[in-house]
Amino acid sequence: MASKPVTVGDLIQRVTSSCLSSRLPCNYTIRDSVDSDLDEDDEDPFADFADAVSSSDKCRRSPSAPEPEAEEEEEGEHEEEKKLKIWEEAQQKEPKVAAERGRDAEALMAEVFDAVSGVRRAYAALQGAHCPWDPDKMRAADAAVVAELRHLARLRDRFRRSAAAGHIPRPNPSAPPLREAVAPYEAALDDLNRQLQSKQAEVDGLKEKLAAATSRRIGRNHPSKHAGPGGAPTAELFTSCAEQARAATRAFAGHLLHLMRAAGVDVAAATRSLTKIPVSSPQLAKHALEAHVTRSLLGGFEHESFYLDGSLSSLLDPAAFRRERYAQFRDMRGMEPAELLGVLPTCPFGRYAATKFASLLPPRVEEAILGDGEHRRVVNGGTHPRTPFYGEFLRAAKAVWMLHLLAFALEPPPSHFEAGRGAEFHPEYMESVAGAPPPRDGAGMVVGFAVAPGFRLGNGAVVRARVYLVPRGGRP
């Protein structure tokens, strides 16, 4: 085929094809084959140009008609703008909320520190009330400690409610909880309560010793008050001495309980082992110890010498024996037992005290309470210790010994009786150690265990037995 000459029209066509081969505004492209088609087929150089021009015209005729992909892109941009606006608003509010939460947390912590300081002050006041001992200050300080701890508990509950509602930040799990922070104070409070119970037992013992000393002083100052014609003993004198003996044994039992607590001994377990009585409370332990002390000291009371020897003087000459016993009662009444045993350690009362001390405290109990067995070694050696504990024991032993002397000085001698476990309660023969009268005069109540025996005198008078009552079918 012969080549055609290049004309102006050919140049225009080629330039136009070169321009149209690039991307147009409406995303249409002229195929790259335009130039090649032009080279290969020169017969219709304007055919592709016409198609491109018609497509460009269509794009220009509908410029406002968006395609579906463009609509989705516009909606996505709109949603992104909304989210951005919400995030910016939250970022603007967050500093204010954080600042408010911080202020609430700081205020709560300030109250917590104030409450802890209040607990420390109340505890210091409670310690101060111990020495010198002041019951009124003790009660007031104890109430203050309880009030401060309750205030601290209310702050804890408020913190938990606030954290659950999102008002203040939740605590860091790695941080120590409030329970651990309060634990030392709770331990100190428990220790203080134990000390308070120990002091209360000591106070009760001192009160009982005071009552016994007052009774002895009244008896010494007014010896003829309960004496009959010619200075003979009377039933009223025996009743008064019986009350003094009970007060003395009760005081020694309280002192024994105080020593157990001071030594850190499990009071309930030690009392159960010593008395064989199931003990479940400190008050019950005190009554159980009193029953044990009374039973030990009054064992053999029906014999004229507590079975320390085989003498039968009361049968050979009863009248002389009664006069001798009453003379011993009056002579020993104003003497301190420690002074008497310091001079005559092996006198009948000395032998009685040594025997009863050995039966009262087994060696293992003595070592647990007193720390060693020195008291038993001294007593077995024929002498008597000069210690406060043994002095307390001698006061109780003397009171029972004096009651025994007076019982065998009376004509006829009083008979003693003891209420058995499970026996019906009879108010005319028994009294409850609880103090308050039982409901309906003891209806439905039975004896849990006997604390002290009773006595029936020759004139018909009765010294009632002391018993611990329990509901029928129950246990102490």
Structure-model confidence comparison of residues 462 and 184, the more confident one: 462
DSSP summary character for residue 335:
S
Angle 307-300-395 from CA coordinates, rounded to 5°: 100
What's the CA gap between 466 and 246, in Å, rounded?
9
Mean pLDDT of 295-302: 93
Which of 126-140, 159-173, 412-426 has the weakest average pLDDT?
159-173
> For residue 35, is pLDDT > 90?
no
SS3 462: strand
- pLDDT score at 420: 87
> What are the tens digits of pLDDT across the range 332-353?
888 888 888 888 888 999 999 9
| pLDDT score for 174 | 52
**Measured distance CA(235)–CA(201) in Å, rounded:** 33
What is the H or E stretch that residue 235 is in?
Answer: helix 235-262
Least-confidence region, from 11-15, 103-107, 148-152: 11-15
- Nearest-CA neighbor of 353 among 334, 373, 338? 338
Burial of 167 (C-beta count, 10 Å sphere; 0-12/13-18/19+): middle
Q: Does 441 score more than 60 pLDDT? A: no
249-266, pLDDT tens digit by residue? 999 998 898 888 888 888
HSE value, Cβ hemisphere, 13 Å, CA-based, for 206: 7
CA angle (295, 301, 307) in 5-degree steps: 105
Residues 267, 273, 274, 278, CA torsion sign? positive
Q: Map residue 383 onto helix, strand or coil.
A: coil
Q: What is the reported pLDDT for 25? A: 45
Look up residue 465 and give its two tokens. Answer: 């037995």
- The tens digit of pLDDT for each residue in 211-270 reads 767 766 655 554 444 554 446 788 899 999 999 999 999 999 988 988 888 888 888 888
Reduce the secondary structure of 342-374 to three states and give it as a string: HHCCCCHHHHHHHHHHHHHCCHHHHHHHHCCCH
Residue-level pLDDT at 292: 93
The pLDDT value given to residue 96:
65
CB 284 within 8 A of CB 470: no
465-471: strand order across its sheet: 430-432, 465-471, 445-452
Count the neighbouring beta carbons within 10 Å of the beta carbon of residue 394: 24
Mean pLDDT on 156-161: 81
Question: Which residues are 452's β-sheet partners?
Answer: 466
Q: Which two tokens stand for residue 5?
A: 């000459």
User: What pTM did the predictor assign?
Assistant: 0.55
Q: What is the pLDDT of residues 168-208, one digit of tens each?
A: 554 454 545 566 667 778 888 888 887 887 787 778 777 77
Q: How many CB atoms lie within 10 A of CB 268?
A: 17
Question: 109-117 long-range CB contacts below 8 Å, 24 or more apart?
Answer: 111/155, 112/152, 112/155, 115/148, 115/151, 115/152, 115/155, 116/152, 116/185
Q: What is the pLDDT of residue 36?
A: 43
What average pLDDT does range 136-151 have in this prediction? 85
Other beta carbons within 10 angstroms of residue 452's beta carbon come to 26
3-state secondary structure of 429: coil
Question: What does the DSSP 8-state code read for residue 467?
Answer: E
Flag the least confident range among 121-130, 308-317, 362-371: 308-317
Kindly state the tokens that stand for 310: 């085989």
> What does the pLDDT look like over 82-123, one tens digit per residue?
766 665 665 565 666 666 777 777 787 888 888 888 888 888
Give the residue among 288, 293, 283, 202 at the shortest CA–CA distance from 245.
293
Cβ distance 4 to 37 under 8 Å? no
Q: Which residue has the tokens 């030594």?
A: 263
Q: Are 233 and 406 in contact (CB under 8 A)?
A: yes
Average confidence (pLDDT) over 437-449: 68
